[in-house]
Structure 1
Amino acid sequence: MAATDGARKGSTLVLRKVTTILNCFTVESPEPTLQELIRRTGLPASTCQRLVTDLTLEGFLDRDGDRYRIGVALVRWATPGTLGMDVVRLVRPILDDLRDQTGESACLYARDGVFRTVIAVAPTRHVVMRPFMVGQVMPIHAGAPGKVFLAFDPDAWADLAGSSLARFTDATPTSMASLDRQRRVTREQGYFAAFGERHEDVGSIAAPVFDHQGELEAVIGLGFPLQRVGPGREHELAPAVVAAALRASAALGFRPEAQRPE
């Protein structure tokens, strides 16, 4: 046990030293020399040189003469997270506009397996509201945003197949056949409206956001209490949701001709 603890502490110490080195690379100073790294980290010269050499061999750093910069390997690892942040950054003003135009909470969703997660939200200013928050996780088979994922992301449908479909209310679809009908409607009209599927007093309207390759990147949706927007009134809000989704798609470089045929 003592040996294991010692190895863990040693590993943590090495990671801390590596982090100290990587923290020296900033926008203001993207290409420090080895001597600058030694001075800024305060590490012994031999330790710093060894770690910098190892980081360079692994592709975490690149060397150009006597200067170093962040390597391709680290850039590749950071890309997925950077893209996610770019999506939120680009779409957030559109969510604010959608909220201001409709008066209802506007959310941006990403999918993780058979769940959807709120990754950005512009909350309604109404006193009567259903709260939405970043990080909130919901199933994709209940509610309008999930139907959009099922309609435009083949992997979402494949992930859901064979899963247990929990019933939250009498309106919750609990069969793949009913979900298939809903996703067909979603594809035909370009959005979906759901009422009371997850909570009896809550409705939602959602539309797809596509990336530059024509693939589904995220879903924009409105959430509202049914006492304010009930069945039959979705056509009043749906055009604004679809327009916001189109704006978001355009911001991500989407061109309709790039969308993959079914």
Structure 2
Amino acid sequence: MKRNSKTGSALKEVIETPREADAEASGGVTAVTRALQLLDTFGMQDEHLSLAELTRRSQMHKTTALRLLRTLALAGYVVQREDGGWRLGPAAGWLGARYQASFDANGVVEPMLLALSQATGESAAFYVREGNSRTCLARVEGPQPIRHHARMGAMLPLDLGSPGRVILAFSGEPGKLYEDIRKKGYHYSIGEREKNVATVSAPVFGLRWALLGSVCISGPADRLPKAKLIGHAKTIMKAANELSYALAGRPTAQTPAVVSTWHP
């Protein structure tokens, strides 16, 4: 079927003009913005994508996408396969490796934990997964004279306590409990791993929106009853989401819905 050139032009204007306006309004270069949008269409599981799929995901005109892909290929950021599909090139991998090598996660995590502790008046911690366990990677003690202490580097169970439950949930663990956590974007627990200790946690995502770990506040259960934990949930999620954006960058197709829902 022959494509109506007027219809195609109108469609191109509807799809691409807002992006051009955004780039120009922020002082950006439209061509660079579009090229980055094409790179962002590749997901963690995508070994390669067809031109049709790239244009569908980026909502970009086919001729524009092809021109940008060929330019990116000259610099090694994408490679065209023999079947016509496209995959990320070695330059993209090298750029990611340099980012990881130069990025000091503690320089971002610890200030966030400090701000979270000051906002809630409780101790704040960041947990990551280590096989079938979790470990505390960073921690800021709260200002209260009575507080919960977590030993840095200690291997703790994933299925006891809100930090581990959140990690399991956003790792895809099946079951109603984990479905509810994914839907809400946070989880709280009281006395689950340690008697009289209460926590509330939210997920943190890293490069390309892969799960990195969880952030939590903790304290004595008599100071943090259920109602107060739920009241702190939005503060926890805001901190976790801001940390995720600092680590993962701007939203992409891989950005979990819960992050974009709660992020201000």
- Residue 234 of structure 2 aligns with which residue? 239
Give me the whole-angstrom Cα distance separating, in 1, the residues matched to 2:214 and 2:162.
10
Q: 1:184 aligns with which of 179, 184, 187?
A: 179
In structure 2, which of residues 113, 121, 146 is the aligned counterpart of residue 95 of structure 1?
113
| Identical columns (%) | 31
Larger Rg: 1
Verify the 8 A CA contact 2:205 2:212 in the aligned structure 1: yes
Give the Å deviation of 1:123: 0.7
Q: CA 1:202 to 1:100, structure 2 compared with 1: closer, same or farther past 3 Å?
A: same
- 2:189 alignment counterpart: 194
Q: Distance in 2 between matches of 1:204 and 1:82?
A: 32
SS for the counterpart of 1:86 is: coil
Other structure's SS at 1:149 match: helix
Give the gaps of 5 or more residues in structure 2.
1-93, 258-264
Q: How many residues align?
A: 163
1:107 to 125, 147, 171: 125
Alpha-carbon distance between aligned partners in 1 of 2:253 and 2:212, rounded to the nearest angstrom: 14
Which residue does the alignment assign to 1:121?
139
> How does the TM-score come out when normalised to structure 2?
0.56
Distance (whole Å) between structure 2 residues aligned to residue 251 and residue 183 of structure 1: 26
Matched residue, 2:68 = none
1:117-167 Cα offsets, whole Å, 9 max, x none, are: 00000111211111123212210000111111111114xx4xxxxxxxxxx
Equivalent position amino acid for 1:205 in 2: V
Which residues in structure 2 correspond to 1:1-262 (within 5 Å)?
82=101, 86-154=104-172, 157=173, 180-259=175-254
CA shift at 1:95, angstroms? 0.4
Supply the distance in 1 between the matched residues of 2:249 and 2:166 (Cα, whole angstroms).
17
Aligned match of 2:74: none
Deviation per residue, 1:150-192 (Å, 9 max, x gap): 11114xx4xxxxxxxxxxxxxxxxxxxxx72221111011111
What is the CA–CA distance in structure 1 between the aligned matches of 2:157 and 2:248, rounded to whole Å? 28
Q: Deviations over 1:175-225 (max 9, x none)?
A: xxxx72221111011111111100120011111111231111121111111
Counterpart CA distance in 1 for 2:152 and 2:162 is: 18
Instruction: Name the SS for the 2:207 alignment partner.
Output: coil
Alpha-carbon spacing, 1:229–1:259, altered in 2? closer, same or farther (3 Å): same
Secondary structure of the corresponding residue to residue 106 of structure 1: strand
User: RMSD of the TM alignment (CA)?
Assistant: 2.6
Deviation at 1:96, TM superposition (A): 0.2
| In structure 1, C-alpha distance between the alignment counterparts of 2:132 and 2:248, rounded to whole Å | 27
Q: Supply the AA of the counterpart residue of 1:140.
A: L
Q: Quick one: distance in 1 between partners of 2:167 and 2:184? A: 14
- In structure 1, the gaps of 5 or more residues are 1-74, 158-178
TM superposition shift of 1:230: 1.0
For the residues of structure 1 that align with 2:121 and 2:256, how far apart are their CA atoms?
35
Instruction: For residue 119 of structure 1, give the secondary structure of its aligned residue in structure 2.
Output: strand
| CA displacement 1:89-130 (0-9 Å, x = unmatched) | 211100000000001110011101111100000111211111
**Compared with structure 1, are the counterparts of its residues 80 and 141 closer, same or farther at alpha carbon in structure 2 (3 Å cutoff)?**
farther
Cα contact 1:212–1:258 (8 A) shared by 2: no
Q: Is the 8 A contact 2:124 2:139 kept in 1?
A: yes
Query: Residue type of the partner of 1:247?
Result: E
